Homo-oligomer: A and B are copies of this chain.
Amino acid sequence: MTYVWGRHPVFEALRAGRTVDRLVIAEGTRALGLLGEIIQTARERGVDVQFVDRRALDRLSDRANHQGIVAEVADFNYRTLDDLVAAGSSATVAPLVLVLDGLEDPQNLGTLIRSAEAVGATGVVIPVHRAVGVTPAVEKASAGAVEHLPIARVTNVVRSLVDLKQRGYWVIGLDPGGNQAYDQIRVDAPIALVVGAEGKGLGRLVRETCDALVRVPVRGRVGSLNAAVAGSIVLYDILRRRKSGA
């Protein structure tokens, strides 16, 4: 069992059919809008709905921004790389897999998953080791998008990339030193886009495994973008160019 908190994540967990064992709501919260919809859906499903002191929610969520609602849910259901590849093969659009090489910030991971879901990506690959998994904070930052997008946890990112290449994927690494601009890459093939860790970028072996390294140009003095923003810009440009047939 684990928890999910915040209105959107709880709503999306219910909507996606995740097993919800208990819904805990802060006393005095007005059941309007999305919260009203959540309570109604939970009751229809026979979920136990409890109204408790707000401090109990602070404890359950470790003082996160829970917005007055916490759900006790089944553990997150990770998929395998094979699941993602199968989903990509059966889709009507060209597959697009986002591979995250050691992201440590839950906010960035959640934001990238939200963007990947928004562009209709096939799924997301994250490493088991030295990286954040799908925690409640990630679920919150994703606005519940984790509920609608297959996420595979793999023990070895390099091996997964080699696997994807053998299955016809074009593996593109996001790298400040990349020799191709992000809006010039080929987008007709199935794509695996690799985003590295905040501040560190791609690991050496990961970089060497990529078919191409692309950069998002930066004009200012700071010289870098937030990792989630950079990844999202490339995801959107792939969507834009696939649509326009460029």
Contact = CB atoms under 8 A, between A and B. Distances in A.
30 contacts: A8-B222, A12-B221, A12-B222, A15-B221, A107-B107, A111-B226, A111-B229, A114-B222, A114-B226, A114-B229, A115-B225, A117-B221, A117-B222, A118-B220, A118-B223, A118-B225, A120-B220, A141-B226, A143-B222, A143-B226, A144-B222, A145-B220, A148-B220, A148-B222, A149-B220, A183-B240, A225-B232, A229-B229, A232-B233, A237-B240
A225 B240 CA distance: 16
Contacts of A223: 118
Contact of A117 (B119, B148, B220): B220
Contacts of A225: 114-115, 118, 232
A216 B218 CA distance: 22
Interface string A125-168: 00000000000000001111100110000000000000000000
A117 to B, nearest CB: 4
Assign chain A's interface to a size class: 35 or more
Contacts of A145: 220, 222
A228 interface: yes
Interface in A8-39: 8, 12, 15
A141 B226 CA distance: 8
A219 interface: yes
B143 A224 contact: yes
A201 to B, nearest CB: 14
Nearest to A7: B199
A51 interface: no
A78 interface: no
